[in-house]
Amino acid sequence: MIPQEIIRRKRDGQELTGGEIAAFIEGLTRETVSEGQIAAFAMATFFRGMSRDEVIALTLAMRDSGDVLTWLDAGRPVVDKHSTGGVGDNVSLMLAPVVAACGLVVPMISGRGLGHTGGTLDKLQSIPGYDVMPGEAALRRVVGDVGCAIIGQTGDLAPADKRLYAIRDVTATVESVPLITASILSKKLAAGLESLVLDVKCGNGAFMASREDAEALARSLVDVANGAGVKTAALLTDMNEPLADAAGNAVEVANAVAFLRGEKAGTRLDEVTFALAAEMLVQAGKAPDRAAAEAQARRALESGAAADIFARMVHALGGPADFIERPTAYLAQAPVIRPVPAVASGFLAACETRDVGIAVLELGGGRKRPQDDIDHRVGFSDILPLGERVEKGVPFAFVHAADEAAAERALVRLQSAYTIAADAPASRPVILTRF
């Protein structure tokens, strides 16, 4: 098929056939379709949208552009979770070992930071020796031995997505719901999943700031994934403040270890992690309902089984054998750690969450360019949640920085990101709805 004819039909608002979409993605993968044609296709899709059937066809074509893993010998349900990204969102680090301890298999293909949001792979690379790109053979070995492995997307999984995304990134077409849907799901489907749970973030720290946009994305993801044959559900969760009480890389790993030790009970992070775990267990047929599933997941944490699986995963992928017992011996510490004092007395009433993520990036904890190195040591820790009372001059967080000047800049930015009011804000649910 002639690429420009496919582009013309989409430009004019016509529905593409599965064959047309498959042909275009094949040309994209083989590089017989030019970057200009890909950009034109992306822009036409951005403005004209796609039907459910078109997005399913696009997702499957991108999935099939490379290897598709199978787990016929797993003997247990194969599941995964995906988050659309936020600040202080380290849920994957705890969720994978929790559900693996409940008898699920979790080959979790994760990504790096994007914009103001943190990336699971960047966090894991805070752990000395941890190999985020071990290859398929090692992935299979670790998943078989441990029950879960959190790694990055290899070049053989959904390569069409890599090329299409790189062009979307520089042509202002990232925010297209059909293209976001196909990008996320093509990678997840290539991992050979039986079921998937999605955490779609909504709020001022999410890519989809408005509830309307976040719900549209959640519906698209659930409809397309189920249409492609993977049992899928989604939670819409609040991202109007950092999810964990830390934002950065090493500090979020330390936070995850504390969670696995049972030290983060009753937090928003706790609620989201176990809600996602419950969805995964119910979908996989391991529990009859969410209440029973959450109880099962909490037992996995309380018994130490989840922490043990996390420790074994870290060691199997090249990290220290005693990391869970001695994280501070291995996680590099920033040279400068300073308290962030409240500028007034009152209640933490609101947070510009995106600004917190940008502050981490400016500290060196994220990338301004794809080739940039990350300083895994930097970020914020001990961040108090909204609704907490603070006193002027008393810390509500700590900044971890490479030098005093960077610490001072980040301190001021974090202070300006938070509103302190005389009255406590109304409580806000962290889980907004389910799809």
Catalytic positions: 80-83, 120, 168, 183, 187-188
Contact predicate 33/155, CB 8 Å = no
Structure token digits, residue 375? 């300083």
Q: List C-alpha distances in Å: 29 to 107, 177, 244.
A: 24, 21, 38
Radius of gyration of the chain (CA): 22
Q: How far apart are CA 331 and CA 338, in angstroms?
A: 18
List, as one string, the DSSP characters of 267-326: SHHHHHHHHHHHHHHHHTTSSSSHHHHHHHHHHHHHTTHHHHHHHHHHHHTTS-TTTTT-
Q: How far apart are CA 367 and CA 118, in angstroms?
A: 10
Cα angle value 242/245/251 (rounded, 5°): 105
Cα angle value 430/173/353 (rounded, 5°): 30
Residue linked to tokens 């993968």: 29
Contact predicate 223/59, CB 8 Å = no
Element spanning 139, H or E: helix 136-146
Burial class (CB in 10 A: 0-12, 13-18, 19+), 375: buried
List, as one string, the DSSP characters of 400-411: EESSHHHHHHHH
Q: How far apart are CA 81 and CA 196, in angstroms?
A: 6
Residue linked to tokens 């930097």: 378
Residues 6+ apart with CB under 8 A from 10: 16, 41, 44, 45, 48
